[in-house]
Chains A and B, each alone.
Chain A
């Protein structure tokens, strides 16, 4: 299948800095270069404040990098309008707006926004896609429920349905399973995996090394704004790199090509002193 080799995301020597005004946040990206192919699930790892979120924000044009170029679906991101980006690239937000009485169906339909041509209403095709997506993520029975009444697991499925209904070529998911219990974490990751098998390039950031190791085709490890390592999980994830990046001693069990990371203790405190580089992110409500 030749189309498997199609590059959907190409990032070339990307550098980004928030500028002098916000240097307290100390979040910059330096010389990032990656190629992501159609249908790959790419996991981004790295400690808090390393630039994972910044990187994903560059890919969907929320932030404009100072240097380097990004190509999505073969097009120069710099030359695309936001509406054109929205037709290629979808994003799974961290949460739903739950105090405005929007129903699940209305919320999922918002994913069709870039494609709606009328002034007010979605077309019949849009509505069909919304119905299909709700069915695929098992939320059809919730369609008239208000977002505020959903459980965390239901919200996660609704968010996935909204992402899928956008029919993206690239799907970005920043910490999609952060607040979920084990079962839903696995369900969400499996859903992302299924989407990637349908040809969507999925880029997801997570702190759960085991989830990334289990599901990702490729892992990018970012530390202090630069790529430390890039490749298949089995090649990239090892004790040394985890110690260097996270400052944690781990034991890794390898079994049948799968690997399991067991955290042991913080590494030698002198080396990885806990300088707080956590981002002072704007607009993100405390969890």
Chain B
């Protein structure tokens, strides 16, 4: 007896999660060693151990740097990697188009415009404090997603409509951001730096929000992994298998916008992660979302950790914007997919 399909899949998941988490831990420590101050791998490990034991009370300068700068940053990177990858995989299933991700559909740009508005126009909502940024990002993300969907559906709802619709919405929203910046040139620097996509501003406050939101939202999406398989059949077929498609899709669109928004709100636009990661995982282990979603999480976290380490070390002591680095890899990958899939059905 070779065992049931389900038990084989469970073993696969355990393996992927186990190996993936191990490599995340190694990269996490490695990431703690990079930066202006020299901290070796063993020092980083013992530093983290001491900090855990002392509940964050630092005993020397190294631990101070680890606690206030490097640990929250590395944790935030993991959170954003998980969040963007899951958001990409979920978006691809909902739109039934493997060429989309939060960046290509304009959702990231919407979130960015929301944040820019908040920062530059000085939107303050009483009692919300630090939550103004993620909330404005969320509003922008949802609106952008709605615009893209309306455009794409009006154009026939085909695969390529969402890519083109997203590009149009993305350009429009980016222009909005540019105009806002043009009229606020004096306060430009903070926004510009953030817009490039950067992890350098992450602190405990933002990291806590990222990790909490990403954990909750990804967990909910994981619960519905089976439903994402069904939704691939198309709305009508899914409905005929007993799913409440409308409710499911609306709920997921809101959640995926929120997931994108919380990632964009603190680290800026990091494009293509949501496109590349699910694709790589599909090529390796197939398209069943019960494997795809958890595997995308660990792969996404690994890839962003590596990207962040590269950004911190390539031109040290200066730092490269991670959004730009990912896009340098992501754009050709997107082109490759476009050519391959265009031959199959887009044309």
Contact = CB atoms under 8 A, between A and B. Distances in A.
A and B: interacting chains: yes
Interface of A: 57, 60, 62, 81-87, 89-91, 93, 97, 99-103, 105-106, 109-111, 113-114, 116, 119-122, 124, 127, 146, 148, 166, 282-283, 285
A113 B96 CA distance: 19
A83 B242 contact: yes
B287 A82 contact: no
B239 A116 contact: no
A106 B4 contact: no
A148 B225 CA distance: 21
B240 A91 contact: yes
A283 B156 CA distance: 7
Contacts of A283: 157, 234-236
Contacts of B158: 285
Nearest to B233: A97
B28 to A, nearest CB: 28
B232 A113 contact: no
Interface string B150-169: 00000001100000000000
B226 A120 contact: yes
Give the dominant DSSP class at A's interface. mixed
Nearest to B159: A99
Interface of B: 4-6, 9-10, 92-93, 96, 98, 157-158, 223, 225-226, 229-230, 232-237, 239-244, 282-283, 286-288, 290, 341, 344-345
A82 B238 CA distance: 10
9 contacts: A83-B242, A86-B242, A93-B233, A97-B234, A100-B232, A102-B287, A114-B241, A121-B10, A283-B234
Given A97-B233, A122-B6, A110 B241 contact: yes
A102 B6 contact: no
B96 A121 contact: no
Given A62-B239, A83-B242, A113-B242, A119 B9 contact: no
A83 B238 CA distance: 10
B247 to A, nearest CB: 11
Nearest to A130: B5
Nearest to B226: A120
A102 B229 contact: yes
A6 to B, nearest CB: 23
Given A82-B242, A97-B96, A103-B286, A127 B4 contact: yes
B239 to A, nearest CB: 6
Contacts of A116: 226
Contacts of B290: 120-121
Contact of B237 (A81, A85, A91, A102): A91
A102 B242 contact: no
B7 to A, nearest CB: 9
Per CB-CB distance, the 5 closest pairs between chain A and chain B, nearest first, are A86-B242, A83-B242, A101-B287, A121-B6, A100-B287
A93 B242 contact: no
B226 A119 contact: yes
B286 A113 contact: no
A178 to B, nearest CB: 17
Contacts of A109: 5
Contacts of B345: 99
B106 to A, nearest CB: 22
Contacts of A62: 236, 239-240
A85 B157 CA distance: 27
Residue with the greatest number of chain A CB neighbours at <10 A, chosen from B223, B232, B244: B232
B226 A100 contact: no
A127 B5 CA distance: 7
A86 to B, nearest CB: 4
A162 to B, nearest CB: 9
Contacts of A89: 240
